[in-house]
């Protein structure tokens, strides 16, 4: 049976015969910049599987930040956050935190909301940061191979900034990779995608862009391709919540496709591999200088 990389704990030992990062990739960050975007829809599903996050995003009153209505702008905001959290200066982090906080101030449940939520909830922010970090590890294993323990520990420490760039205090980040695995397993007991959140997430899983209408045969084919990719990047627990079928044959096909994509990726010039994140920090500085909105 093929190995389902995304079903593994981050602290699992290297797979027997597992690949090591190609020499062309100088660092784990360089390896995972551009190619990691393929797992974006899956990571959104993981984050929104916690009801507080799912309803907070689905019912957000920040119109410009809604992924279902403004997917390109939402993608820019998310990519910029990742770039700032992982590679930004202290000044960039502080500036972007203030901008995000202004938007988050409008994201809270109303008295008649079926799920109570608040964008400043540290537990929910910790969950979102954990999903981003877990997604990185899964994608790295799929496309590149296994990290040695020293590299994995170093990246784990750096991953803390995915939460601390907002409100997550450093002490909330699990102490080490083993502690993270325990946190992750406990958190899986809290996820649930109900019909309302499922309806919001399905177009994202299918890779649909806003209200773009395509002929049914074309749309159906694109949906099938994107759903296959999204499902392949999801851990099994999330596939079940999204009611997405998966089996050994699909896993083998996914593994073959990802192996081919990875071989092509490592041959690309370094600036291309780093897109779009190398551009995001420049765009952020430009927006700050010209007084344009950051989120």
pLDDT in tens, 247-286: 999 999 999 998 888 888 878 787 777 777 778 888 999 9
Note the pTM of the prediction, 2 decimals.
0.87
Using the 8-state DSSP alphabet, how is residue 64 labeled? G
Segment 290-294 mean pLDDT: 89
Residues 6+ apart with CB under 8 A from 67: 44, 57, 74, 75, 204
Return the pLDDT at 147: 82
53-to-122, 192, 245 alpha-carbon distances in Å: 11, 11, 24
Q: Is 108 strand, coil or helix?
A: strand
pLDDT (tens digit per residue) in 60-87: 877 666 666 667 777 788 888 888 888 8
Tell me the two tokens of residue 245: 């079928």
Residues 6+ apart with CB under 8 A from 87: 29, 277, 281
Tell me the two tokens of residue 222: 């694109």
Tell me the two tokens of residue 257: 């496709």
**What does the chain come to in residues?**
295
- Is a pLDDT exceeding 60 seen at residue 21? no
pLDDT band at 172 (very low <50, low <70, confident <90, very high): very high
Q: Which of 4-13, 31-40, 152-161, 272-281 has the highest mean pLDDT?
A: 152-161
Q: Is the peptide bond before 33 cis (omega within 30 degrees of 0)?
A: no
Average pLDDT, the chain: 84
Q: Are the C-beta atoms of residues 81 and 155 closer than 8 Å to each other?
A: no
Return the pLDDT at 5: 60
Rounded to 5 degrees, what are φ and ψ at 49?
-70, -20
Question: Dihedral of CA 146/152/155/159: which sign?
Answer: positive
Return the pLDDT at 271: 76
Segment 123-129 mean pLDDT: 95
Q: Is 118 strand, coil or helix?
A: strand
């Amino acid at each position: 049976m093929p190995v389902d990389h995304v079903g593994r704990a981050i602290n699992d030992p290297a797979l027997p015969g597992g690949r090591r990062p190609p020499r062309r990739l100088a660092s784990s960050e360089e390896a995972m910049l551009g190619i990691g975007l393929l797992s974006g829809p899956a990571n959104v599903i993981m984050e929104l599987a916690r009801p507080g996050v799912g309803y907070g995003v689905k019912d957000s009153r920040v119109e410009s930040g809604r992924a279902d209505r403004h997917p390109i702008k939402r993608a820019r905001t998310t990519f910029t956050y990742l770039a700032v959290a992982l590679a930004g200066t202290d000044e960039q982090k502080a500036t972007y935190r203030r901008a995000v906080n202004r938007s988050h101030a409008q994201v809270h449940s109303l008295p008649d909301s079926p799920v109570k939520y608040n964008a400043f909830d540290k537990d929910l922010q910790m969950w979102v940061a954990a999903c981003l970090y877990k997604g990185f590890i899964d994608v790295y294993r799929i496309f590149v191979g296994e990290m040695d323990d020293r590299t994995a520990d170093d990246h784990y420490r750096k991953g803390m900034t995915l939460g601390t760039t907002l409100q997550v205090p450093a002490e909330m980040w699990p102490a080490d990779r083993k502690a993270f695995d325990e946190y992750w397993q406990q958190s899986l007991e809290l996820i649930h995608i109900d019909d309302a959140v499922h309806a919001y997430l399905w177009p994202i899983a299918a890779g649909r862009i806003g209200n773009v209408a395509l002929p049914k045969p074309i749309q159906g084919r694109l949906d099938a391709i994107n759903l296959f990719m999204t499902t392949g990047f999801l851990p099994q627990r999330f596939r079940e919540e999204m009611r997405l079928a998966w089996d050994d044959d699909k896993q083998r096909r996914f593994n073959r496709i990802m192996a081919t994509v990875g071989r092509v990726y490592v041959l690309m010039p370094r600036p291309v591999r780093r897109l779009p994140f190398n551009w995001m920090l420049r765009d952020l500085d430009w927006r700050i200088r010209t007084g344009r909105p950051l989120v």
